[in-house]
Chains A and B, each alone.
Chain A
C-alpha cells in the first residue's frame, strides 16, 4: 500500500509544475496546458484523500472538475484559435491591447 503522503507530494509537484509553467511560459497553449496540469494535480490529491478516508465525495468531485476542465478546454481553445487568427501570434505578451 502506497502511503498517502506519496500521492500528496506527487500532487504538490504536479501543481507546482503547473504554476511554474503558467508563470514562465509565454506561449498561450503551454499556459493552457499548465492550467490543466494544476487541475490534475488537485484531482490527484482529491482521489488520494478519497481512497484514504474511504469517502466517495472526493472521487465525485474529481468528475466535476474534469467536466469543467473539458468545458474550459473547449471554450479556451476556441478563444486561442480566434486570437491567433486576429493577432497571428500565440505570445501572450503581445496580446496586450487592453493594457495601458
Chain B
C-alpha cells in the first residue's frame, strides 16, 4: 500500500511563496522576503525528500488531483507521476534550487527588485516542478511554457538595460519555435493514441515494432518532440538564446540556464523514451544534434572572454552530451550527466557570480587574474567544479561523461570520437577560464580610496577584490561537495540500475555484453582522462606558462579565429536569413500594404462614403410632416405596384 504523498504540495509551496512575495514583498523588509522565499523553496525540498524516503520502494506512484479536460474519450488531468526518473529531477530541482535561493540572498541583497527576484524565482520552481511531476504531456506543457515565462522574466530582470530586455525577448521567441514543434508532436500523439497520459501512450506503443524502414508516425512524433527539446535545451539550431540569456542575474543563470530549466528538454526526451526507442531515425537525429552541438558550442567557448559566456557555451555543449547519450539509447547515462552537471555547472555559475561580485561587476576575464589569493573559498570551489566538468576522476563529471562516451562508443565510434574531442576542448576552455581568472596578476582596475573605477552593480565601493559573504559561500561549498561525490552513485552502474524500472531492459542487454569488453571500457576511460589532462596542460601552457602564445596562435589562424570569436556569425546569419525578411515583410507588406492600404483604407473609405451619402440624403429629414406622409404614400404605392407586377395573390 502506497502512502498518500501529497505530491501536489511540492509545486504549490513555491507558488505560494511567489504569490506572497509578489503581492506583499514590495512593502516588506528584505529579511521578510528572504524568509518567505527560503521557507517555501526549502519546504518544497524537504517535502520532496520526504516523498523520496516514503515512496522509495513503491515507485512508480500516481497521484490524481482533479479533472482538467474531458472531451470524448480524451482526458487530461491534474495528476502527478513519480517514478525514479522524476524523482531524480525532483531532488535536483528542489535541492539545487534551494541552494541557489540561499546564494541569491547574498548576491541580490543590494538590488532594488529584491522581492520581485524571489517571487520570480519561486514561480520558476513551481513551473519546473509541475513539468517534472506531470503525468501527461499537457500538464508537462504547462510547466514547459511556465518555465519559459519565468526564464523570460528573469533574463529581462534588469529590464531597464536594453540588452537584457532584448535577450529576454530573444529567449522567449526562440523557445516559441521549439514549442511549436513540441505542440505539433503532441497533436500527433493525440491523433494516434487518443491520450496524452504517459502511461497510456507508452503502453499503446510498446507492442509495436521499431520503425526501422525509415519514417513513420513515431519517427515524426520523435523528431517534433526533439524540435521542442532543441528550443528549451538550447541545441543546434535553436541554441542562440542561451548565451544571450546571461544578461540575467548570475543566480538565474545558475538555476535556470544551467542546472534545471535547460535540462527540461533532456528530461522530456528521456521521458518519451518509449517513443524514441521505437523510432531509430528520430533517435539518430537526437544523437547527431547532440553530438554536433557538443562540439560546436565547445569550440565557441574557447574564444569567449566573458566569464559567463564561456560557461553558457559550456552548458550548451554539456547539454549536447546529454542528448548524445539519449540519442544512442543510453537515457540513464544522459540523466546521470544531467544530475552531475546540475551540481558542477550550478557551482561554476555561482562561483562565477562570486567572482563577479568580488571584482565589482566585471565579467571580462581579461580584467581579472590572480584572484586566488583574494577569494580563496571561491577559488577552491571553482577548482573542484572545473576538475569535475573536465572529466578528471574521481569527480562527478568523470563518471557521467565517461558513461556517455562508453555508450556512444558502443553505438558508433564517430560519436565517441567527437565526444572525446569535445571533452578535450571542454577541459581546455575550463582551465583557461580558471587560469585567466585566478592565476597570474590582477588586471582589474584598482579602486583607490575615493571609490573611483570599476562600477559595482551593487553600488558598494570596492577596494581590493573581496570574498563573498557566508550566505553565498555555503551553497558553493555544498555544491562542491556534491560535485566531488555526486558521481559515485554511478559507479558500478548503480545509477543505471536505479533507473532501470523506467527505461526498461534496453540497457541491461548492453550491460550483459559489457563484461566481455571490460578492457575496452577501461581503455576508453584512460583515453578520455588523458584527453582531459591534455586540455588542462594546453591551457596551462598557453595561459600561464607562455601567455603571449594565444595571440600568436590567434593571428596565425586569422579568419577562422575571427569566426570563432564571433560565434561563427550564427546570430548574424539568423538575422539575415530569418529576422530581416520577417521584419521587412511585416513592415512593407503586412503593415504598409495590407494593414494600411487594405484594412485601414477599406474602413476609411466606407466611413467617407457613408458620410457623403448621408450628406445628400439628410435633406429628406426636413421635419415637414406632410413630406414624410408623401414619402410613406409613395413608398406604399411603390410596394403595391411591385406586388401587382409580381402577381402576388393571383
Question: Does B625 have its Cβ within 8 Å of any Cβ on chain A?
Answer: yes
Determine the chain A residues whose CB is within 8 A of the CB of B630 once the complex forms. Answer: 23
Which one of A19, A22, A92, A96 contacts B623 once the chains associate, using CB atoms below 8 Å?
A: A96
Q: CA separation between A19 and B637, bound complex, in Å?
A: 11
Question: Does A99 have its Cβ within 8 Å of any Cβ on chain B?
Answer: yes
CB under 8 Å from chain B, chain A span 18-72: 19, 22-23
Question: Does A2 have its Cβ within 8 Å of any Cβ on chain B?
Answer: no
With both beta carbons as reference points, the residue of chain B lying nearest to A93 in the complex is identified as: B624
Query: How close is A21's CB to chain B, nearest CB, in angstroms?
Result: 11
Question: Does B613 have its Cβ within 8 Å of any Cβ on chain A?
Answer: no
Determine the chain A residues whose CB is within 8 A of the CB of B624 once the complex forms. Answer: 93, 99
Question: Does B626 have its Cβ within 8 Å of any Cβ on chain A?
Answer: yes
Q: CA separation between A19 and B633, bound complex, in Å?
A: 8
Determine the chain B residues whose CB is within 8 A of the CB of A75 once the complex forms. Answer: none
Question: Does A100 have its Cβ within 8 Å of any Cβ on chain B?
Answer: yes
Q: Which of B623, B625, B629, B630 has the most CB of A within 10 A?
A: B625
A23 touching B626 by the CB < 8 A rule? yes
A99 touching B626 by the CB < 8 A rule? no
B633 touching A92 by the CB < 8 A rule? no
A92 touching B625 by the CB < 8 A rule? yes
B623 touching A23 by the CB < 8 A rule? no
Q: CA separation between A92 and B629, bound complex, in Å?
A: 14
Query: How close is B163's CB to chain A, nearest CB, in angstroms?
Result: 64
Q: Which of A23, A92, A93, A98 has the most CB of B within 10 A?
A: A23
Q: CA separation between A93 and B622, bound complex, in Å?
A: 12
Determine the chain A residues whose CB is within 8 A of the CB of B633 once the complex forms. Answer: 19, 23
With both beta carbons as reference points, the residue of chain A lying nearest to B637 in the complex is identified as: A19
Q: CA separation between A100 and B618, bound complex, in Å?
A: 14
Q: CA separation between A92 and B624, bound complex, in Å?
A: 10
Q: What string of 1s and 0s marks CB contacts (under 8 Å) between B611-640 and chain A?
A: 000000000000111100110010000000
With both beta carbons as reference points, the residue of chain B lying nearest to A20 in the complex is identified as: B633
Determine the chain B residues whose CB is within 8 A of the CB of A100 once the complex forms. Answer: 623
Determine the chain B residues whose CB is within 8 A of the CB of A92 once the complex forms. Answer: 625-626
With both beta carbons as reference points, the residue of chain B lying nearest to A25 in the complex is identified as: B626
Q: CA separation between A96 and B633, bound complex, in Å?
A: 22
Query: How close is A100's CB to chain B, nearest CB, in angstroms?
Result: 6
Query: How close is A43's CB to chain B, nearest CB, in angstroms?
Result: 18
Number of A-B contacts (CB under 8 A): 15
B629 touching A99 by the CB < 8 A rule? no
Q: CA separation between A2 and B626, bound complex, in Å?
A: 36
Determine the chain A residues whose CB is within 8 A of the CB of B626 once the complex forms. Answer: 22-23, 92
Query: How close is B281's CB to chain A, nearest CB, in angstroms?
Result: 81
Determine the chain B residues whose CB is within 8 A of the CB of A23 once the complex forms. Answer: 626, 629-630, 633
Query: How close is A77's CB to chain B, nearest CB, in angstroms?
Result: 18
Query: How close is B626's CB to chain A, nearest CB, in angstroms?
Result: 6
Q: What string of 1s and 0s marks CB contacts (under 8 Å) between B331-368 and chain A?
A: 00000000000000000000000000000000000000
Determine the chain B residues whose CB is within 8 A of the CB of A98 once the complex forms. Answer: 623
Query: How close is B643's CB to chain A, nearest CB, in angstroms?
Result: 15
With both beta carbons as reference points, the residue of chain B lying nearest to A99 in the complex is identified as: B623
Determine the chain A residues whose CB is within 8 A of the CB of B629 once the complex forms. Answer: 22-23
Query: How close is A91's CB to chain B, nearest CB, in angstroms?
Result: 12
With both beta carbons as reference points, the residue of chain B lying nearest to A100 in the complex is identified as: B623
Q: CA separation between A98 and B630, bound complex, in Å?
A: 20
Q: Which of B623, B624, B626, B630 has the most CB of A within 10 A?
A: B626
With both beta carbons as reference points, the residue of chain A lying nearest to B633 in the complex is identified as: A19
With both beta carbons as reference points, the residue of chain A lying nearest to B627 in the complex is identified as: A23
Q: CA separation between A96 and B623, bound complex, in Å?
A: 9
Q: CA separation between A98 and B623, bound complex, in Å?
A: 9
CB under 8 Å from chain A, chain B span 432-491: none
Query: How close is B400's CB to chain A, nearest CB, in angstroms?
Result: 89
Q: CA separation between A98 and B625, bound complex, in Å?
A: 11
Query: How close is B222's CB to chain A, nearest CB, in angstroms?
Result: 76
CB under 8 Å from chain A, chain B span 217-264: none
Determine the chain B residues whose CB is within 8 A of the CB of A19 once the complex forms. Answer: 633
With both beta carbons as reference points, the residue of chain B lying nearest to A95 in the complex is identified as: B625
With both beta carbons as reference points, the residue of chain B lying nearest to A22 in the complex is identified as: B629
Q: CA separation between A92 and B625, bound complex, in Å?
A: 9
Query: How close is B142's CB to chain A, nearest CB, in angstroms?
Result: 62
Q: CA separation between A85 and B629, bound complex, in Å?
A: 26
Query: How close is B413's CB to chain A, nearest CB, in angstroms?
Result: 96
With both beta carbons as reference points, the residue of chain B lying nearest to A23 in the complex is identified as: B630
Q: What string of 1s and 0s marks CB contacts (under 8 Å) between B541-585 and chain A?
A: 000000000000000000000000000000000000000000000
Query: How close is B633's CB to chain A, nearest CB, in angstroms?
Result: 5
Q: CA separation between A96 and B625, bound complex, in Å?
A: 10
With both beta carbons as reference points, the residue of chain B lying nearest to A98 in the complex is identified as: B623
Query: How close is B628's CB to chain A, nearest CB, in angstroms?
Result: 10
With both beta carbons as reference points, the residue of chain B lying nearest to A96 in the complex is identified as: B623
Q: CA separation between A23 and B626, bound complex, in Å?
A: 6
Query: How close is B56's CB to chain A, nearest CB, in angstroms?
Result: 89
With both beta carbons as reference points, the residue of chain B lying nearest to A24 in the complex is identified as: B626
Determine the chain A residues whose CB is within 8 A of the CB of B623 once the complex forms. Answer: 96, 98-100
Determine the chain B residues whose CB is within 8 A of the CB of A93 once the complex forms. Answer: 624
Query: How close is B621's CB to chain A, nearest CB, in angstroms?
Result: 10
Determine the chain B residues whose CB is within 8 A of the CB of A96 once the complex forms. Answer: 623
Determine the chain B residues whose CB is within 8 A of the CB of A22 once the complex forms. Answer: 626, 629
With both beta carbons as reference points, the residue of chain B lying nearest to A31 in the complex is identified as: B626
CB under 8 Å from chain B, chain A span 74-100: 92-93, 96, 98-100
Q: CA separation between A93 and B625, bound complex, in Å?
A: 9
Q: CA separation between A19 and B628, bound complex, in Å?
A: 12
Query: How close is B213's CB to chain A, nearest CB, in angstroms?
Result: 85
Query: How close is A22's CB to chain B, nearest CB, in angstroms?
Result: 6
Determine the chain A residues whose CB is within 8 A of the CB of B625 once the complex forms. Answer: 92
Q: CA separation between A93 and B627, bound complex, in Å?
A: 11
Q: CA separation between A81 and B633, bound complex, in Å?
A: 28
Query: How close is A9's CB to chain B, nearest CB, in angstroms?
Result: 15
Q: CA separation between A96 and B626, bound complex, in Å?
A: 12
With both beta carbons as reference points, the residue of chain A lying nearest to B625 in the complex is identified as: A92
Query: How close is A92's CB to chain B, nearest CB, in angstroms?
Result: 7
- Would you mind naming 14 contact pairs between A and B with Cβ atoms under 8 Å apart? A19-B633, A22-B626, A22-B629, A23-B626, A23-B629, A23-B630, A23-B633, A92-B626, A93-B624, A96-B623, A98-B623, A99-B623, A99-B624, A100-B623
Further contacts, 8 of them, CB under 8 A, given A92-B625, A99-B624: A22-B629, A23-B626, A23-B629, A23-B630, A92-B626, A98-B623, A99-B623, A100-B623
Please give me the 7 A-B residue pairs with the lowest Cβ-Cβ distance, nearest first.
A99-B623, A23-B630, A19-B633, A23-B626, A23-B629, A22-B629, A100-B623
